[in-house]
Chain A
C-alpha cells in the first residue's frame, strides 16, 4: 500500500492522548479494541442496530461501529474503561452489579455509556425517560427490567453522594 493510504491521527481516550497511524476504512470500534487495547467496547452487530459498541465522543454517545477512527482525530473519546475511578467502580457500574443489570455482560458497556450520557444531562430521569434513552441498546439476557432499576438506583446514589464522580474521560 502507498503511504497516502494511511492517516496519522491524535485521539484522546479516557483522558490519555494517543497518536497513531490508521487506514481511513478502520472503524473507531476496531481501532479502540485492536490498536489501543480498549477491549471493553464490544462489537455486536457492526451496523448500528444493537448499541453494544456505544462510546462517548466529546461527551455524546455514538455508535463506534458507525464512525471511522479518522473522524475521531482531535476529539475526546470515553469508553467503559473511563468510568471507574482509582479502582473504584462508578455508581452506575456498582448499581448494575447490585441490581443484577447484567447477565452475560456483552451489552453492558454500551448500556453503561448510554446511561452515563443520560444521567449527565438528566440526573433524575423518570422510568419512561430511561427506557427512551436506552431504547437503542439491545440485551438478550436481562429482559431490561433490572437494567432500568440499576439506572434508577445509580441516579439516586449519585444524587445523594456529595461529590458526583464524572469518570476520567468526559
Chain B
C-alpha cells in the first residue's frame, strides 16, 4: 500500500501549474486535498508519472462575492465551508453538504474543486452544484472557459475537463429573495458515502406559491441527477406535503438503475431518494418562507 514513483512539482501560481500541466498533460495529475487521489495511488489504481501539487497556490483558495452570487476557489477546503457562518446563512445547502464529506481530518484537507473534478457519483458537492446552477471555470495554458455544472459531469469519475485543463473556480449564481436551500443524505455511518443524497433549492413568489424549484441527487446514478420533470411539476404549486410527494414520485421515475451493492439495493436507494427528496424540499421551502 505505497504509491509508485512519480515526479513531484509544487507550483506557487496558477500560471506555473498550467505550464506544468501543458508540458506533462498526458501523464500528470493535479494533487489538491488528496483525500481521493492519494488512496487511489496507495492502492496503485492510479499511477501518474507527474504530480502537480497545487496546495501552495494561495490564489486558489477564496470565497468572494461574484455578480450577485458567490465565487469559490477550487482549493477551498471543505472545513472552510462547514465553519463559514456567513455562507451557512446564505447557502446552508453548501454547509450541510460539506459537513457530510468524510470526517474532520478529511475535511481539513479535502477541497471543493477536488470533489468536483474527481466526480465520484456518491460525492455531495457535485449534486449541490447542479442544483445551484453553478458554473465552473477551467483554465489551461491556452485560455479559460466556463462550463455549467449540468454539462460538466459526464458519468462515473468522468468530467468535461480536457487534457491540460485545471478547475480553478466555482461560480454560484445569486438566488432571488424568498429562496431557501437544503441538503440531506442518508449513510450507514457518519461520514460514509451516502446511499442517496438530495440538494434542493426553492424560490417562492409573492403569493407564496413555488416560483422555481431545483433538485440535485447524488449516489443514485453514474453522475449527479437533475430531475427536471420533478422541478417542472413543482412550479406554481403551493409548498406542502402534496407537492413534495408528487415531486418525489417524479424523481424516482427518472432514476434509471441506481447502484445495487452490499450497502443497499437499487430499490432501497430509490426509496431513499423519494424520502430524502421530500425532506430536502420541505427544509428548503421552510427556509424560503423565513427569507422574506
Contact = CB atoms under 8 A, between A and B. Distances in A.
Same complex origin of A and B: yes
Interface of A: 4-5, 7, 23-25, 27, 30, 46-48, 51, 54, 60-63, 65-68, 70-71, 114, 117-118, 131-133, 135-137
Contacts of B263: none
A167 B188 CA distance: 35
A30 B2 CA distance: 10
Contacts of A61: 104-105, 108
B225 interface: no
A62 B109 contact: yes
B1 interface: yes
Given A24-B51, A25-B5, A67 B105 contact: no
A127 to B, nearest CB: 13
Contact of A114 (B6, B55, B105): B105
Interface in B30-85: 34-35, 38-39, 42-43, 51, 53, 55, 79
Contacts of A62: 105, 108-109
A65 B42 contact: yes
B105 A70 contact: no
A70 B10 contact: yes
30 contacts: A7-B8, A25-B4, A27-B3, A27-B42, A46-B1, A46-B42, A47-B39, A47-B43, A48-B38, A48-B106, A62-B105, A63-B35, A63-B105, A63-B106, A63-B109, A66-B34, A66-B109, A67-B109, A68-B34, A68-B38, A68-B53, A70-B53, A71-B53, A114-B105, A118-B104, A131-B190, A133-B104, A135-B103, A135-B189, A135-B190
Given A67-B109, A70-B8, 20 more contacts: A24-B7, A24-B8, A25-B4, A25-B6, A46-B1, A46-B42, A47-B1, A51-B105, A54-B105, A60-B108, A63-B106, A65-B38, A67-B38, A68-B53, A71-B10, A71-B55, A114-B104, A118-B104, A132-B190, A136-B105
Contacts of A30: 2
Q: Please tell me the size bucket of the interface on B.
A: 20 to 34
Among A48, A60, A132, A133, residue most surrounded by chain B Cβ atoms (within 10 Å): A48
A136 B104 CA distance: 7
B106 A136 contact: yes
B5 A23 contact: yes
B176 interface: no
B191 interface: yes
A118 B42 CA distance: 28
Interface in B179-229: 189-191
B122 to A, nearest CB: 15
Contact of A117 (B4, B51, B53, B104): B104
A-B interface, 9 closest residue pairs, ranked by CB to CB distance from nearest? A136-B103, A24-B8, A47-B39, A46-B1, A135-B190, A61-B105, A60-B108, A66-B38, A25-B3
B102 interface: yes
Nearest to B37: A66
Contacts of B106: 48, 63, 136
Contacts of A135: 103, 189-191
B52 to A, nearest CB: 12
